[in-house]
Structure 1
């Protein structure tokens, strides 16, 4: 049927936008999909579309920000389909503000849904996979996280979102190293596609609109879903600890922070001397990409 035959996958925030696209593409490739969304009606609509097309999917309304409730998503996957092979953390919200105008509530909401939301269900899944591994059973599992260009290079007016997404990128690197012993890989995606979040601004909605002439729909969310489907498949077993970017027909790897050669005096720098060392470092650096909106 496809590259995900009988692979059991939980996709969070799958009632709409990118998550719904992921769920449909995964199901079309043979996956058994747990469609997680707090909006039960939206999740049900996605499940109905999948099942009517001959796919396998169930609705799950676990709150990804609630650790105990998140366990129910993992339990449902195992009860409904007999196993769990991948968690795709997709759910997200926006609370855009300039930093000087940001409230504590704006900050906490983003950290809860994005950063804690990436922890809860995944933690329960990892406990399941670790248990199987300790029983001597072969595990071939996937964690797929959703970061953002905002988290990789910053975004004006989104310091809360950028910080959370940067945390997700770092979390992915840690998961990849720590969980390899249990047969679990961890990768992240920074997607660019047409969704409710990206088209909330009229300018973006116009730029990302579906072409009327039937040409390639560059901003279609399904373009991103193809990469994620492959990352959830058995063929991606050797790939872990990577941050991918995807938009349109383009796939790339985001190159992370790297330590440069540096300037070493061999002794303590006097405060007044540090400026000359910085000048030498800046003369040789490869500048970072600009912050979005700057």
Structure 2
């Protein structure tokens, strides 16, 4: 649906964590009214109704994603299947019902449990400021295929983690963000990405006391990443007595417990040969 410049400017003033919902609602109400172009009038009318009935709009949780399987040209590992599993689990756990039982007074958007996905380290969905963050990853490795010394992998790596020797590419995994760009541009196939999975970060937030999410060391396949999410949801329901955010409850000691619990399930753990595909 087309939007006027004034309408686009107005929707950008809506807080980012509800902007997508409000924009969708504006278009739905405009379509119901037979409007082809969204103007400032439609935005203001819908926004007023949305804010006046905020409690009705609270879903209990948010699962967000960037372009991902919809066309991200830099995708390291797609997450659509994992997104659906996480959504289904949160629905099964009835997070909305849980919040209604625990929160005194009206529910607000800041009560919701927030999960965000990104299929590459560019992280357009801003997952590092969510309660649970999952980022697609591809671990580059060298194969036995001879290198043509074209240098495409060196040019593609924004982290300067790839250099060329006489025998082929040399990977600096301390610098590597496992984005898979070097693999994508390696036409001979000297660089391969057999281990694809997810980075998992926990406990991020904005607000008065912001904190970036803490990254669990390693790369995890879909099953392990989902198990980490399930563990965190169980932790949240056990600890949140009055609607406190996961990130407010999740301490560094809790983070280290997750690290210890899942360290042997990483695709990059010593001796691991699993791949997420």
TM bucket normalised to smaller? under 0.3
TM-score by length of 2: 0.21
Please, what TM-score do these two structures have when normalized by structure 1? 0.21
Higher strand share: 2
Greater share of helix? 1
